[in-house]
Amino acid sequence: MSEALLYSFRRCPYAMRARLALRYCGVPLRIVEVSLKAKPAEMLVLSPKGTVPVLSVDGRVIDESLDIMRWALAQNDPQDWLLQGDPAVLALIAENDLGFKHHLNRYKYAERYPERPMEAYRADGEVFLQKLEALLADRAYLLAEHPSLADMAVAPFVRQFTHVDREWFARTSYRRVQAWLQWFLDSPLFIAVMAKPESV
């Protein structure tokens, strides 16, 4: 396999989770950090929709983060992130991507959605946090006794949600989610993928 090329934006949770899977599976990779205000023409040729992440490898272009993660794990999944194909993995990720992300956007950018107060959007998002808290009742990770694709696909969005008001999150009763998120933030894999890549 030739070196893969990933167009990324460091703080974007979609790009973040793509980087996590690509680093975990050990694919030779070059990362190009994109300025969202001046997207490189080369990226737009590969993916005209202009969103990150975009992966180019062996003549193939993949421009959805979950598809990039699944492609990476198809190359190498040494710790069974896919949980032997357990459908619960993709079901939980769908809840994150289709529901929680919607509430996260409104909570983070509440001034753009003045029809409801910020706290209402936060409460909508808390429903998902409550589900995660319950999933973590008997183990340290969401769906298994070890990290899975679900943990890595969901954690960047929970991180973003909690960073809107860190003091509020620290005061909440979501103790298991707090511990799980701290594990994620302290993990060598997360620290590695958050290192600043080259700019264009």
pLDDT tens-place values along the chain, 200 residues long:
689 999 999 999 999 999 999 999 999 999 999 988 899 999 999 999 999 999 999 999 999 999 999 999 999 999 999 999 999 999 999 999 999 999 999 999 999 999 999 999 999 999 999 999 999 999 999 999 999 999 999 999 999 999 999 999 999 999 999 999 999 999 999 999 999 755 44
Number of domains in the chain: 2
Q: Among positive and negative, which fits the CA dihedral 74, 102, 164, 15?
A: positive
105 and 175 housed in the same domain: yes
Range of the domain at 195: 4-79+189-199
pLDDT of residue 22: 98
pLDDT of residue 117: 96
65 and 132 housed in the same domain: no
pLDDT of residue 168: 98
φ, ψ of residue 40 in degrees (nearest 5): -65, 140
What SS3 class is residue 143?
Answer: coil
183 and 95 housed in the same domain: yes
**Is the Cβ–Cβ distance between 60 and 73 less than 8 Å?**
no
**Is the Cβ–Cβ distance between 33 and 26 less than 8 Å?**
no
11 and 107 housed in the same domain: no
For the chain, report the end-to-end CA distance as a whole number of angstroms: 25
What is the token pair recorded at 93?
A: 């990720």
62 and 119 housed in the same domain: no
C-alpha to C-alpha distance for 162 and 168, rounded to whole angstroms: 8
132 and 53 housed in the same domain: no
**Is the Cβ–Cβ distance between 100 and 167 less than 8 Å?**
no
Domain containing residue 140: CATH number = 1.20.1050.10
Q: Could you tell me which residues come within 8 angstroms of residue 46 by beta carbon, excluding any fewer than 6 positions away?
A: 7, 54, 56, 61, 63
Beta-strand pair 29-33/54-57? unpaired
pLDDT of residue 196: 79
pLDDT of residue 93: 98
